[in-house]
Every structure is written in C-alpha cells, then in structure tokens.
Amino acid sequence: MERRPQRSVAVDDVDGFEAFYGRALPGALRLAHLLTGSVSVGQDVAQDAMVAVHQRWHEIENPAAYLRTTVVNLSRSVQRRSIRERMHLRGRPEAVTSIPEVDETWRELRRLPPAQRTVVVLRFYEDLSLAEIAEQLGKPIGTVKSTLHRALSTLKEVLP
C-alpha cells in the first residue's frame, strides 16, 4: 500500500464540537469548581463531561444541557474519592478572593455535605428552580426542598 502521509482526518463535525468546546468550557469549569469545591478536581470533571458530550455529539439535541447534567453527575461521583482529594479540598489555603465574607461563606459551603452543596449551587448559582433541580438530579422535589432547607439552616447557624 502506498503511504500517503496527510493531516489527520478530524472526527466528524469536529469544527462544531470545537466551537462548542471553546464556548462552553469556561462555564463547565466554573460549575464543576463550585460543585466539587476544587479548581483541579473541577477541571477533571469538566474534561470528562466534555468527553461525554463529544462521544454523543450527534445524538444530543441540547449539548449545553447535556454538559451541565454530566458535570453535576460527575461532580457527585467524585465527591467520594480519595483521601488525597479530601486533603486537597481541605488543606489548601481557604482564601480564594480578597473579600473575607466571601471566603468565609465559601469555606462553609465547601463543608456542606455534597448533596446539600449541589442543591445550593444549582439554586443560587445556576438559578434553577426546585423543580428543575429535582429533574436535574433525578430526585423527588420534596427531597430537594428538604435538602436545601437543611443546607440553609446549617449555613444560617455557622455564618455570622
């Protein structure tokens, strides 16, 4: 067979995916950061979510929604990972901004159980309604409501 060196043939419609990747990655990184409490773990999650979108690029109607769902699901999965990560999450300097009240609130948010933090982030960062959160997480709306209630009660207690 005659050798025919050439530039690699891109995956189907890679331009479309590439444009989506460039557009959606920052948002995925932010959401994953907030959900996992860690920039680096969030990067891993966002990448994995992008891989999932890429693999189903031609099947999914709403890549952005699919990406968000995948980020949320993967973030929930990774929250039970290794001690190294737990140390990573808790051992790093807490100050992420120059605003003490923000840093303090963020520290307490990170200390919430993952399920509670997820609901808080989806409610107050993604601005989803309880019904939308329930759909996103595949949980009854009553469960979401009580989870949010517990999270807010805890935060009200610990935040001055």
- CA end-to-end span of the chain: 74
At closest approach, how far in Å is the CB of 93 from another protein?
Answer: 9
97 binds another protein (CB under 8 A): yes
Whole-angstrom distance, CA of residue 135 vs CA of residue 107: 28
- Nearest CA among 56, 32, 30, 57 for reference residue 42: 32
**Is there binding between residue 42 and another protein (CB under 8 A)?**
yes
Applying CB under 8 A, does 59 fall inside the site for another protein? no
22 binds another protein (CB under 8 A): yes
Residue from 21, 60, 64, 111 touching another protein (CB under 8 A): that is: 21
Can residue 57 be called a binding residue for another protein (CB under 8 A)? no
Distance CA 71, CA 49 (A): 6
Residues contacting 50, CB < 8 A, separation 6+ = 21, 24, 25, 28, 67
The only residue of 55, 65, 113, 158 in contact with another protein, by rule CB under 8 A: 55
Among 23, 40, 113, 158, binds another protein (CB under 8 A): 40
Closest distance to another protein from the beta carbon of 13 (Å): 12
Which of 119, 109, 114 has the alpha carbon at shortest distance from 141?
Answer: 119
24 part of the interface to another protein, by CB under 8 A:
no
